[in-house]
Amino acid sequence: ASGADATIVYGVNHDTLRQSHQIISSASCTTNCLAPVAQVLHRELGIENGLMTTIHAYTNDQNLIDVYHTDPYRARSATQSMIPSKTGAAEAVGLVLPELAGKLTGMAVRVPVINVSLVDLTVTLKRETTVDEVNALMKEASQHSKVLGYNTLPLVSHDFNQ
């Protein structure tokens, strides 16, 4: 957030929080999703650059029915449309992981669900890897994290509304 003394994502950089910080941003929900994954990938494999796309539940600043708006995308019904949108989450990762500043970019698509979003991260890594290695790294990291989970169940967004 603009004017914040620190941007903190728990599990990623919460150890940088200082008593002298007066205004603290906890970043966006998307940044809180993206940062722990990016941290593991960068630490273990080195991220050169990347693109994230968030498929995002609609939010309270979107219209529920089609209305007039100066931005044609913002005029459309959030409950009936997939709406391309901007996101600052990829850039915000650089605030919590400075070594990734300027390396990630992103976009969002708002979808007609009231809760639960997902992030798709595509990266160019500094070294070759395999799907099995990436999965093993994420599984291992999740076993030592309070914020990162790993599963292989056939779940959909509704399953996370509990």
Tell me the catalytic residues: 29
As a residue count, the chain comes to 162
Closest CA to 38 of 84, 105, 87: 105
User: Which DSSP state fits 131?
Assistant: H
What is the H or E stretch that residue 39 is in?
A: helix 29-45
CA distance 136 to 89: 25
By DSSP bridging, strand 47-57 and strand 83-85 are unpaired
- 3-state class (DSSP) for residue 58: coil
By DSSP bridging, strand 118-125 and strand 47-57 are antiparallel
